Structure 1
Amino acid sequence: MQTWYGIDIGGTKIELVACGDDLQVAYRRRIATPTKDYADFVRSIGELVEAAEAELGACRAVGIGVPGVVERASGRHLSSNVPALTGQRVGDDLRHRLQRPLHLGNDLHCFALSEAHGGAAQGYASVFGAILGTGAGGGYCVEGRLIGGFNGIAGEWGHWTVPATLLMAYQLPLLDCACGLRGCMERYVSGSGLALIHHHLGGDAIDAGAIVELADGGDATARHALDIHRDLLGHGFAGLVLALDPHVIVLGGGLSKVERLYDELPAAISAHLFNGMRVPPILPPVFGDAGGARGAALLARQNTPS
């Protein structure tokens, strides 16, 4: 049986998994992400693959999910989560270092791909995997295949602009985004965005989990922050329904663990759709944190010639 390696690059950790053709994870290893030294980053990926092959034998190919976007013309990367990658030709450098078949993809796309194969979206014709963590983004799969788009950025709904009417209704500031735009959805609906809303209302919770805990305990400010967050997220997901009409939306990232979202989001989405439109199922992920690396292995399997 062939072995496929999948590597998920995150802002704090890098995870490698090894999968067989059945996509069952047979090996897993994590290391800290070198976020500032690019040479150290490339070296760390090489050593991670070499250590796995020392235990498992040679792999058929390597798939890597990397945060950020790649400029198609130059091949250079832009990543806010791992600053060392910005301006670098990451794919070329890793291929030179690894000397193995390598397929590079977006980490969010890999999450969606994983959930489309044996995950929460198994059996659905199309899926949007929406990540709600430090930022907000996602990936779109149709019949089990990723749709990348002309620029390879399909799924970047976190950089849609929140309407001024919503910002004004909740008296929220117009925030700059690391992408260079202003008022991007991820600045308000990500985990850090929820904390920002809470702070704006006068709260002092340090993260989304603390806000949910306060709300469950009856704290009015925390509940108000969650209400605002839910409405903004409902607007963003309504845009996904109107633009892509996915058969299911699977949540990922830290906020995917907030159980109330699965009960409350359908009505919040429906409020921003015209009459007669159905909201697709909103489901939690099956693979959780392991989904990105598993999806990267699947990316390698799908794109390696037989």
Structure 2
Amino acid sequence: MHYGLDIGGTKIALAIFDDELQCRDRWQLATPVDDYEAFLTTVCGQIALADERCRDLASEQAQAEEHEQEQQQAMASVGIALPGVIQTDGTVLSSNVPCLNRRRVAEDLGARLGRKVATGNDCRCFTLSEALLGAGRDKRHVVGVILGTGLGGGLCIDGRLFNGANCLAGEFGHQGLAASVLLDHGLPLYDCGCGLRGCAENYVSGTGLGRLYRHFGGEADTYQWLAAYREGEASARRAFDAYMDALGSVLAGQILALDPDIFVFGGGLSQVPEIMEALPVATQKHLFAGVSLPEFRVAEFGAASGVRGAALLGRNQLLNESLLLNESRISKSNGPNSQASDAVNPPSKRSIANGSS
């Protein structure tokens, strides 16, 4: 079995997947956001609960198949999707769960659980899930985009998650918004929580859309904006035009930098039909003549992509460790001059089903 946990600013979602990545059970609970000790205790408690539920599932299956249950179950893998930047040494930065900042979550949880824990950025986990199993599964170059409270995403190439030298690949929410968009719509430079000014996230996220609505005279947040827009309110229409122009410029920048086959969208705003329908035209506006657009698709797994991607991280860590162990055993059995080489017998990208760069 493989456990996937998606840590959010308000709730923790946990799911149990079998070896075919089919969900066998899932639940959620509140996130302890200010107390790191409480966070660790909560997560460890939920892993223990998942172990118990796995034993129950195994018992039910054994009874259905009318044979004895194996006395010892293999230890399930654990993968966790975290908000924020996860540095190469495992330290979490810029998380909207305050108690996680400057902590090595995977190391601390692994020590308590007595098993390896794989962690990844939540947007990258979303991208991995959709690239391997969802809307992007038949594409080589997949960019995931989360249009939620914040803005971020990830890149998968040939089924492998690309993290970059400092695990920053996909943090395009903190790229500066195009000057042409700011000028055309008379928008100010908003300060960002990251310490920069004018970050795209402050205009293109759900929070940013509410900010734009208020800038143009609206008196409510993003939720009220949609109703006002559909009723034809002028300030809501102006906010929509500015939002689409900003989002189009961000996506055009990713096309010119990464040239993906497909964008896969998640987050609450991806569920607004008017936004998704306007995206191609809004993006093409910021590209020079002759540039073809990639596909634009909404995530197949929706909100479940985070836990599924986290489970993939955990599963693939387990697979990679098994591969290294087998190579070591082969090397020892063949003598000191023998080498196991991927060039001789390269693993397929889908059989390993992720890896990261």
TM normalised by structure 1 equals 0.95
* Partner Cα distance (1:269, 1:70) in 2: 30
1:268 is the counterpart of 2:290: no
* Partner Cα distance (1:76, 1:299) in 2: 17
What runs of 5+ residues in structure 2 fail to find an aligned partner? 56-72, 323-357
DSSP-derived class of the 1:36 partner = coil
1:297 is the counterpart of 2:294: no
Cα distance per residue 1:43-85 (max 9 Å; x no partner): 1110010011111135431011111012335x42113310111
* Aligned pairs, number: 302
- Given that 2:85 and 2:95 are in contact with CA atoms closer than 8 Å, whether structure 1 keeps it comes out as no
1:245 is the counterpart of 2:243: no
Cα distance per residue 1:170-214 (max 9 Å; x no partner): 11111111111111000000000000000011101222x321221
1:161 is the counterpart of 2:176: yes
* Partner Cα distance (1:210, 1:241) in 2: 32
1:298 to partner: Cα distance:
0.9
Deviates more, 1:149-158 or 1:213-222: 213-222
1:228 is the counterpart of 2:226: no
> Which residue number in structure 1 is paired with residue 13 of structure 2?
15
> Which residue number in structure 1 is paired with residue 329 of structure 2?
none
1:54 is the counterpart of 2:68: no
> Which residue number in structure 2 is paired with residue 124 of structure 1?
139
* Partner Cα distance (1:86, 1:55) in 2: 31
* Partner Cα distance (2:317, 2:261) in 1: 25
DSSP-derived class of the 1:265 partner = helix
1:32 to partner: Cα distance:
0.5
DSSP-derived class of the 2:106 partner = helix
> Which residue number in structure 1 is paired with residue 91 of structure 2?
76
> Which residue number in structure 1 is paired with residue 218 of structure 2?
203
1:303 to partner: Cα distance:
2.3
Question: After TM superposition, where is structure 1 displaced by more than 3 Å over at least 4 residues in a row?
Answer: none
- Given that 1:80 and 1:178 are in contact with CA atoms closer than 8 Å, whether structure 2 keeps it comes out as no
The residue identity in structure 2 corresponding to 1:23 is L
* Partner Cα distance (2:224, 2:132) in 1: 33
- Given that 1:10 and 1:82 are in contact with CA atoms closer than 8 Å, whether structure 2 keeps it comes out as yes
> Which residue number in structure 1 is paired with residue 4 of structure 2?
6
The residue identity in structure 2 corresponding to 1:152 is C
- Given that 2:107 and 2:117 are in contact with CA atoms closer than 8 Å, whether structure 1 keeps it comes out as no
1:278 is the counterpart of 2:320: no
The residue identity in structure 2 corresponding to 1:20 is D
* Partner Cα distance (2:218, 2:275) in 1: 21
DSSP-derived class of the 2:166 partner = coil
- Given that 1:60 and 1:101 are in contact with CA atoms closer than 8 Å, whether structure 2 keeps it comes out as no
- Given that 2:181 and 2:242 are in contact with CA atoms closer than 8 Å, whether structure 1 keeps it comes out as no
DSSP-derived class of the 2:51 partner = helix
DSSP-derived class of the 1:266 partner = helix
- Given that 1:6 and 1:16 are in contact with CA atoms closer than 8 Å, whether structure 2 keeps it comes out as yes
* Partner Cα distance (1:169, 1:227) in 2: 11
* Partner Cα distance (2:179, 2:291) in 1: 24
From 226, 240, 254, the equivalent of 2:268 is 254
The residue identity in structure 2 corresponding to 1:300 is G
* Partner Cα distance (1:98, 1:16) in 2: 16
* Partner Cα distance (1:300, 1:129) in 2: 20
1:118 to partner: Cα distance:
2.2
The residue identity in structure 2 corresponding to 1:64 is I
1:267 to partner: Cα distance:
0.9
* Partner Cα distance (2:132, 2:184) in 1: 41
1:97 is the counterpart of 2:112: yes
* Partner Cα distance (1:165, 1:288) in 2: 33
Cα distance per residue 1:21-50 (max 9 Å; x no partner): 211111101111111111101111100100
* Partner Cα distance (2:296, 2:253) in 1: 15
DSSP-derived class of the 2:152 partner = strand
1:169 to partner: Cα distance:
2.1
- Percent identity among equivalent residues? 47
User: Quick check: which has more Rg, 1 or 2?
Assistant: 2
* Partner Cα distance (1:295, 1:187) in 2: 26
Q: What's the Cα RMSD here?
A: 1.3
The residue identity in structure 1 corresponding to 2:192 is C
The residue identity in structure 1 corresponding to 2:140 is A
DSSP-derived class of the 2:156 partner = strand
From 161, 175, 181, the equivalent of 2:196 is 181
